[in-house]
C-alpha cells in the first residue's frame, strides 16, 4: 500500500504503507489413511489463497492460507513437462511444498532512505508458481502377493487380515490393489509382530508391454520386500504359470526377480493328497529340492499359519526399502537451483540487450512501470547488482534498449 501518516499535530508523518502478505503454498502431505489417488480424478486444478494487501500504519497484510493436499504413502511427484522427480513420499506425515506462493510486495514505508524520503510507490505482489504435476502411486508394503488372475490372492489377504477385497471367479483381474495388516498374534505370535501385505492385481502374459492392467500394478511390486507367488494347483500346467509370471517381472524390471519369493500352492482343498504330492514333485524337480513350497487352502486356512510365520521370518531378514532420511512432520521445500544474485546478459541486436536473472526479473515483475519512482528504484537495483557495469563491458551505449522480463528500459551508463 502507498499511504502517508497524517494525524493531528503530525501533519507530515511520512510514508506508512504496509507490506502485502505472501501467497499461500500448495503442500502435499503423506498419510496412511488414503490408499489411492482417486481424489485427484474429480478435481484437476488446485489453487492456494492469495495474500492480502498491506494496510495503513505499516500494517502487514495477512499471508494466504496454504492449500494442504493429502496423498497416500508411496506417492511420487513428478514435474509433468520435464519428468523430474520432485519428491518421493515413503513415510507418513512427510510434507513437500510443490508450488510456492508469490511474495507479497513491500509498501512505500519500506523504501524510505536518506535519498528517497517520500516514496510514492509500492511493490506489486509477485505471481505465485503455476505447475503441472504428475502423481504416481507405488504402494509400500512389506509383502506383495503375485500370481495369475483367480489363483486366490484376494482370498488369502482377506483371510489373514481385515482387508475387504472382492472375491469371485472373475475371468478378469481385481482392478484396485488392497492393503492389509497381518497380526501374528492371531496365530500365536508375539505382540507387535506383523507386516503389511498387498494384494497385487493379477498379471497376465504381456502385462509388461501394457497388455491388460498388469503394467499399472507391476510398479507397486518394486516397493515390497518379499513376494508370495501363488499358483493354482487345479491348473493343468503350474510350471507354465510360474514361468509366465516371472517372465513378466523380468521384462518389466530385472531387479524384481532378485526379490525373495515364497512359492505357494493354493486350493489344495479341491484336489486329492496324491495330486498335491505330484504337484510338489513337479515343482521341486524344476526348481530344486531346496525351494520351500507351501501347499495351502486360503479358503479353509489349511497351511496358512505356517506360511505367515515363514513370511515374517523372510521380512525380518530382508533389508527394508530405501527411504528418504527426513524427520517425520518436517516440511521440505524444493531446492532452488539458481542463485538469486546470478544474472546473464545476451546481445539480441546492435542496440538491444537481454538481462536474465531470478531476482532482477522478480523486481521488474513487482514494479509499477508507470510510476517514475518505481522505475528509478529498478535502476538503483541494476547499479547495486553490478548489472549496469556488466552491460557497459558488453558494449551497451546510452539509449540502448535493455529488456528484463516484460520490461523495456533505456540504458544509462
CA distance 48 to 21: 13
27 near 97, Cβ under 8 Å? yes
Mean pLDDT score, 150-162: 87
Say whether 175 sits in a helix, a strand or coil.
Answer: coil
Mean pLDDT score, 47-73: 90
* CA 304 to chain CA centroid, nearest Å: 36
347-372 pLDDT, tens digit each = 888 889 999 988 889 899 999 898 98
127 near 102, Cβ under 8 Å? yes
Q: Whose grid coordinates read 487352502?
A: 297
Mean pLDDT score, 184-191: 84
- Domains, the chain, in order of start with CATH, read 26-137+327-333 (2.70.210.12), 143-317 (3.40.50.300), 344-410 (3.30.300.350)
Say whether 363 sits in a helix, a strand or coil.
Answer: helix
CA distance 262 to 310: 8
Phi (first) and psi of residue 264, to 5 degrees: -130, 130
251-310 pLDDT, tens digit each = 877 888 888 889 999 999 999 999 999 999 999 888 887 778 999 999 999 999 999 999
121 near 2, Cβ under 8 Å? yes
Stated pTM of the model: 0.61
User: Looking at the DSSP assignment, which residues form a beta bridge with residue 265?
Assistant: 231, 295
CA distance 299 to 56: 73
Output the CA torsion 315→317→318→322 (10° steps). Answer: 100
Amino acid at each position: 500500500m502507498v499511504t502517508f501518516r497524517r494525524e493531528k499535530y503530525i501533519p507530515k508523518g511520512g510514508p506508512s504503507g504496509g507490506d502485502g502478505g505472501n501467497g499461500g503454498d500448495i503442500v502435499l502431505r503423506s498419510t496412511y489413511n488414503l490408499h489411492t489417488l482417486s481424489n485427484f480424478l474429480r478435481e484437476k486444478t488446485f489453487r492456494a489463497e492469495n495474500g492480502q494487501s498491506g494496510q495503513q500504519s505499516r500494517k502487514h497484510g495477512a499471508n494466504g492460507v496454504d492449500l494442504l493436499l493429502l496423498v497416500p504413502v508411496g506417492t511420487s511427484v513428478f514435474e509433468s513437462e520435464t519428468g523430474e522427480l520432485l519428491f518421493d513420499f515413503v513415510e507418513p506425515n512427510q510434507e513437500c511444498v510443490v508450488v510456492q506462493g508469490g511474495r507479497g510486495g513491500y509498501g512505500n514505508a519500506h523504501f524510505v532512505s536518506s535519498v528517497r524520503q517520500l516514496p510514492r510507490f509500492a511493490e506489486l505482489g509477485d505471481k505465485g508458481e503455476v505447475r503441472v504435476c504428475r502423481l504416481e502411486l507405488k504402494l509400500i508394503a512389506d509383502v506383495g502377493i503375485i500370481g495369475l488372475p483367480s489363483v486366490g490372492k484376494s482370498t488369502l489377504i482377506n483371510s489373514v487380515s481385515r482387508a475387504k477385497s472382492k472375491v469371485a471367479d472373475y475371468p478378469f483381474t481385481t482392478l484396485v490393489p488392497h492393503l492389509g495388516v497381518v497380526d501374528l498374534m492371531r496365530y500365536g505370535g508375539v505382540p507387535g509382530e506383523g507386516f503389511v501385505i498387498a494384494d497385487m492385481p493379477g498379471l497376465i502374459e504381456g502385462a509388461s508391454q501394457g497388455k491388460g492392467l498388469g503394467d499399472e500394478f507391476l510398479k507397486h511390486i518394486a516397493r515390497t520386500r518379499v513376494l508370495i507367488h501363488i499358483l493354482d494347483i487345479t491348473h493343468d500346467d503350474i510350471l507354465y504359470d510360474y514361468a509366465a509370471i516371472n517372465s513378466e517381472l523380468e521384462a518389466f524390471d530385472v531387479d524384481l526377480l532378485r526379490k525373495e519369493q515364497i512359492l505357494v500352492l493354493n486350493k489344495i482343498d479341491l484336489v486329492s493328497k496324491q495330486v498335491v504330492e505330484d504337484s510338489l514333485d513337479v515343482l521341486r524337480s524344476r526348481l530344486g529340492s531346496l525351494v520351500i513350497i507351501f501347499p495351502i487352502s486360503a479358503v479353509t486356512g489349511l497351511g496358512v499359519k505356517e506360511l505367515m510365520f515363514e513370511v515374517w521370518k523372510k521380512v525380518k531378514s530382508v533389508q527394508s526399502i530405501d527411504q528418504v532420511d527426513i524427520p517425520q512432520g518436517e516440511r521440505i521445500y524444493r531446492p532452488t537451483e539458481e542463485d538469486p544474485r546470478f544474472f546473464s546478459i545476451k546481445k539480441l541486436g546492435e542496440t538491444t540487450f537481454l538481462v536474465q536473472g531470478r531476482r532482477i526479473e522478480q523486481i521488474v515483475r513487482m514494479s509499477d512501470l508507470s510510476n517514475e519512482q518505481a522505475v528509478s528504484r529498478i535502476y538503483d537495483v541494476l547499479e547495486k547488482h553490478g548489472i549496469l557495469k556488466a552491460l557497459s563491458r558488453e558494449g551497451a551505449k546510452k539509449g540502448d534498449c535493455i529488456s528484463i522480463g516484460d520490461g523495456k528500459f533505456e540504458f544509462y551508463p
